[in-house]
Amino acid sequence: MYLGPPIDDPAILATLPSALADLLRRANGYVAYHGGLHVRGACVAPAWHSLREAWHGEQAIHRLFSVVLPSDIPFAEDALGDQFVLRDGIVHRLDAEQGELTSLRLGLAAFDAAVRADPVEYLQLQPLERFRAEGGELEPGQLLSVYPPYVFKQSASDVSLRAIATADRLGFLAALSAAIRDLPDGTEMVIPAPPRGAVDAR
């Protein structure tokens, strides 16, 4: 649904592992599966699509989430803002609500194959499927806001799904994960207010 602009940041391209650099030379990032997967590109703009911004910018993923290292390459994200980073050639998934990083034990090519084989299950796109069934659409540069966040037990009864700017969603997730980082399971706390700027699909 979105193909990145022509490469205008060759310097960042030169620092990437060959598999990722080759991917971006074929298509300079993209948004696929109705917003279910966003692969960032070697470009200066738009900022939400720029790998440089996500890796080295003021709001870089490693600055937002302490479990991500400055050397980790945040090459992609899913519809909810969970991040996919390359660490030593292996794809890791960041659960952005909880701030937890898990190795998928796959290289980039195997990750791509797993996504293509079953994107809804592998990327856990059921919330996006529901959002679209209710008439919503994610535009390029937007992520899906879920409220209350899934980490709270109140989400078991129902959640509100909204389209929101990528930067707003990631800022909310970073603040949430930092707030609950050292809390034991079952701790009671006030659910943070949802991010501003959300667009209700209904």
Asked whether the bond before 70 is cis by omega within 30 degrees of 0, the reply is no
Closest CA to 96 of 77, 82, 78: 82
Percent of residues, the chain, with pLDDT higher than 70 = 89
**Residue 78's pLDDT band (cuts 50, 70, 90):** very high
The Cα 149–Cα 21 span in angstroms is 34
| DSSP string for 45-87 | SSGGGBHHHHHHSTT-HHHH-TTS-TTSEEEEEETT--EEEEE
pTM as predicted: 0.91
- Pure H helices in 80-146: 108-117, 119-122, 126-133
**Residue 199's pLDDT band (cuts 50, 70, 90):** very low
Number of Cβ atoms within 10 Å of the Cβ of 117: 9
**Residue 1's pLDDT band (cuts 50, 70, 90):** confident
Whether the pLDDT of residue 68 is over 70: the answer is yes
Whether the pLDDT of residue 188 is over 50: the answer is yes
pLDDT for the residue numbered 177: 92
What is the per-residue pLDDT across 102-136, written as a single tens digit (0 to 9) for each? 999 999 999 999 999 999 999 999 999 999 999 99
pLDDT for the residue numbered 189: 66
Q: Are 29 and 39 in contact (CB under 8 A)?
A: yes
Phi, psi of 178 (to 5 degrees): -70, -35
What is the per-residue pLDDT across 156-179, written as a single tens digit (0 to 9) for each? 557 889 999 999 999 999 999 998
Widest pairwise Cα distance in the chain: 48
Q: Are 29 and 6 in contact (CB under 8 A)?
A: no
Whether the pLDDT of residue 202 is over 50: the answer is no
Give the CA angle between residues 95, 86, 167 to the nearest 5°.
50
Q: Are 2 and 19 in contact (CB under 8 A)?
A: no
Q: Which residues contact 147 (CB under 8 A, 6 or more apart)?
A: 159, 160, 162, 194
**Strand 37-39 versus strand 30-32 pairing type:** antiparallel
